[in-house]
Amino acid sequence: MAERGVLGTEDKYRTRRFEIHGTAAYDIRQSTVRNPRPVQLPEEREQPAVHVRKVRARLHVSPFSVLGIAVTVFLAVLVVFGYVRLYEASTEVADLERQLSSLELERSRLESKYENEVSLAQIEEQAEALGMSKPKSSQTVYLNLSSADRAEITPAEHTNLLVTVYSAIRDSIRDFVEYLS
C-alpha cells in the first residue's frame, strides 16, 4: 500500500489539505476546504448620466514662432542659393580654365609658326622698303631709373556693420531675382 501523507497550506482565512498517495499527483479539483465562504459580488450601481460638452479647440500660434519659422525658411533659401552660386562659379571657372589651356596651345602654335616664317634679313628688307633706317646717336634718349620705386597705399574705408549686412542681403536678393529671370 502506498504511503499516505498530508500536505497543507494555511492562510488567514482557510485551510487546504491535499492527500498524497506515493508518487501519484494529487487531485486539485477535490474540494477539501472546511467551511467555505460564499463569494459575494459587489452590487451593481447605476451610473449617473454624464453630460458631454463639445468644446472647440482654439489654435493659437505665437507670432514669435511664425517669425522664427519665416526667418529659418529665408535663411535656408539663402543657403541653397549660395550653394547654387558656388556651383555656377565653379562650373564657370572650369570652363574658363579649359578655354585658357586651348588658347595657350593656340598661342604656342602661332609663335612657332611666326618664328619659322620670319627671319631678321626679311625684316630689314621690309623696313628699308618702307623707308626706315637705324637711329642716329642724336635720336637716342637715355633715362636714369636708379632711384628707388615708390608706391602709395590709400587707407580702406570703414563702413558700418549694418550697412555691410544690408548691402550683402540686397545683393543676394538682386542676384536671386536675376537667377530666376
Q: What is the pLDDT of residues 66-101, one digit of tens each?
A: 999 999 999 999 999 999 999 999 999 999 999 999
pLDDT band at 30 (very low <50, low <70, confident <90, very high): low
pLDDT tens readout for residues 35-57: 667 777 778 888 777 778 887 77
Tell me the CB-side half-sphere exposure of residue 125, using CA atoms within 13 A: 5
CA atoms of 117 and 115, how far apart (whole Å): 6
Asked whether the beta carbons of 20 and 32 are under 8 A apart, the reply is: no
Asked whether the beta carbons of 21 and 1 are under 8 A apart, the reply is: no
Q: How many CB atoms lie within 10 A of CB 26?
A: 13
Question: Per mean pLDDT, which of 31-40, 48-57, 59-68, 137-146 is the most reliable?
Answer: 59-68
Write down the pLDDT at residue 1: 45
